[in-house]
Copies of this chain bind each other. A is one copy, B any other.
Amino acid sequence: MSDFPSNWGRWGDSDQRGAVNLITDEVRARGVAEARIGLTVSIARATTPFPLTGGPMAPTTAATTAVQTAMLFTGFGAPAMAEVMIVTTHHPEVTHLDGLGHWAEGGRVYPGVDVADSSGPTGVRHGAADVYGDGILTRGVLLDLAPGRRLSPGHPVTGADLDTAAARAGVRVLPGDALVVRGGWDRVVDGDQPLPGMTLDAVRWMHEHGIAVYAGDIGDARPPLPGETPGALHRFALGRLAIPLIDAADPENLAAVCERLERWTFQFVVAAPRIVGTTGLPVNPLAVF
């Protein structure tokens, strides 16, 4: 894979934003121009937390979830209700942004920082998710790989698949775009079947088209795709191309709206809570029409 393209060094030796650098002023202006009526559609999965309480106060058996909450006792007669929340961000039940510091290839994080320097017991020092603290705004393009249905189990998504979807929608993907992919799969609900996944060919396509950020319900296949590089999306799109990934996204509603409006481009905007120094954060990316 040593001939696979790399963005390491492309924006300097200490860059932390990666492919988001492709969102220039011109790209940003193209993004906001897509928003006309102000309709907003979430591209996030709804996550139902599981209560931390047990015993007689809650069921004792349940599926685990990415988020757990405990409703707090705020005092007798207190007017406010509140809770504490425990989040395991990199979980398929919650839509989350993978920061560049989440992934180390050969012990190094984009653009070449030793993982021992980028991450420590108390947090992330290089490539944390909060480097996008002012939000990411650009044009978004939905490529629906299986309109009205879902991809076959274990389908290897290729660049040709992405081209086909773009042609079907009549859109041209441009440098700096946010790529939103729908395959009709949910890693949690469908987790007992072979999950489709991105091939290295698809990641190369992302590079050639200058994708700045990725969001989709298709990630890396499980089990690995026969004859394909395993973990292509995380290893090459996130690790080598420094494209931040919005993992476990849910573009189902977005696809319905695109169909209805007959538009597959929109203002894409995402802003994670400004929590400093983490490898990832839960997010709710929006498509604005």
In the complex, A80→B58 CA distance in Å? Answer: 13
> Is the beta-carbon distance between B92 and A60 smaller than 8 angstroms?
yes
- A164 within 8 Å of B (CB atoms): no
Interface size, A (range): 35 or more
Interface segment out of the listed A48-56, A144-152, A165-173? A48-56
> Is the beta-carbon distance between A135 and B40 smaller than 8 angstroms?
yes
- A256 within 8 Å of B (CB atoms): no
Residues of B within 8 A of A2 (CB): none
> Is the beta-carbon distance between A58 and B28 smaller than 8 angstroms?
no
- A124 within 8 Å of B (CB atoms): yes
Residues of B within 8 A of A57 (CB): 72, 74-75, 80, 82, 90, 121-122
A104 to chain B, nearest CB (A): 5
In the complex, A40→B27 CA distance in Å? Answer: 13
- A160 within 8 Å of B (CB atoms): no
Q: Which of A241-289 contact B (CB under 8 A)?
A: 267, 269-280, 282-286, 288
Residues of B within 8 A of A51 (CB): 121-123
- A162 within 8 Å of B (CB atoms): no
- Of A38, A48, A137, chain B has the most CB atoms within 10 Å of the CB of A38
A88-B135 contact, Cβ under 8 Å, with A46-B274, A102-B82, A275-B94: no
Jot down 22 A-B pairs with beta carbons below 8 A, ordered by A: A25-B38, A28-B39, A32-B35, A32-B288, A35-B267, A47-B274, A47-B275, A48-B277, A51-B122, A55-B88, A57-B80, A64-B64, A69-B275, A70-B70, A71-B73, A79-B103, A80-B279, A81-B124, A84-B86, A84-B87, A86-B86, A270-B271
